[in-house]
Amino acid sequence: MTDKKTATTGKKKLNKLYYNDNQRRLVTLLGSKGFDRFIMLIILADAVLQGLMTSPTMTFYYDNVMYLLDRMFMGIFISEIFLKMVTWRKEFFRSNWNIFDLVVVGVSSLPLMSIFIVLRTFRLLRLIKYENRNDKVGMVVEVFLRMMPVFAAYMAVFAVFFYIFAIMAVNMFGDTFVVFGSLGEATFSLLQVFTLDGWASTIARPVMVVYPMAWAFFSVFLLMTFLLTLSFAVVVLKLELKR
């Protein structure tokens, strides 16, 4: 009984919003599984195309063909969003996935200089929408989206922390070592220290030859970054346990 009432209410709402027969047919088409599968296939084809466009051999022989396919796929995505916005009107913006699609397609279709052509790869993010329908993948996406505010707060603290230590490094070691010669170079060097990628042999030990007490600076930096990362992990774990 509940399902029948829900279906009846949905039909009444549909008739109220889309009183035109053509509109109702278009709404049915845009909301159908067949149309969803078609768009998913286009996104997958676009993903393959983006990969082929990174190959010098493919671009040398098929550059014009791939360019036309790229524009065609972009046209399909824009038409899809346009039709949904015109047909669903205000209802379109009540779905977070529709807003996600609009932002991704909008960003990837910006008429910017050729240096920003990489933005078109943002279209591939729409695959997340369809992968989300798988329970396990959907769980990962859900956790990822839920952790974004916590991660943003962590990155804000992390950025301030890096900024302070980068200024200290420039003032202490910048006159002698190129890797700490400017704020940007110091930040990148500290990022290498944070990732533990050869930091001792290529950064810390050469600095310690000239500045024997530099070990204290790097030790405190590593300890603080470890504590920050551990704090983030603890916060995430607490949020998950509360659910």
| pTM, to two decimals | 0.56
Which amino acid, one-letter code, is at 222?
A: L
Distance, in Å, from the CA atom of 53 to the CA atom of 221, rounded to the nearest integer, reads 42
Long-range contacts of 209-215 (CB under 8 A, 24+ apart): 210/173, 210/176, 210/177, 211/172, 211/173, 211/176, 214/172, 214/173
Distance, in Å, from the CA atom of 202 to the CA atom of 182, rounded to the nearest integer, reads 18
User: Within 13 Å, how many C-alpha atoms sit on residue 48's CB side?
Assistant: 6
Task: Tell me how far CA of residue 107 lies from CA of 67, 104, 178, 222, in angstroms.
Answer: 18, 5, 38, 38
Q: Which residue has the tokens 């920050």?
A: 228
Q: Which two tokens stand for residue 77?
A: 């995505």
Q: Tens digits of per-residue pLDDT, 160-173? A: 999 999 999 999 99
Kindly state the percentage of the chain with pLDDT values over 90.
26
Topology match between the domains 31-130 and 136-242: no
The set of residues, in sequence order, having a beta carbon less than 8 Å from that of 124 and lying 6+ positions away, is 43, 46, 47, 50
CATH classification code of 31-130: 1.20.120.350
Determine the topology of domain 136-242 in CATH. Answer: Helix Hairpins (1.10.287)
Report domain extents, the chain: 31-130, 136-242
Kindly state the percentage of the chain with pLDDT values over 70.
77
Q: Tens digits of per-residue pLDDT, 214-235? A: 999 999 999 999 998 898 888 8
Q: Tens digits of per-residue pLDDT, 131-148? A: 656 666 667 767 777 788
Can you spell out the DSSP letters for 47-102?
Answer: HHHHHHTT-HHHHHHHHHHHHHHHHHHHHHHHHHHHHHHHHHGGGGGG-HHHHHHH
Task: Give 84's pLDDT tier (boundaries 50, 70, 90).
Answer: confident
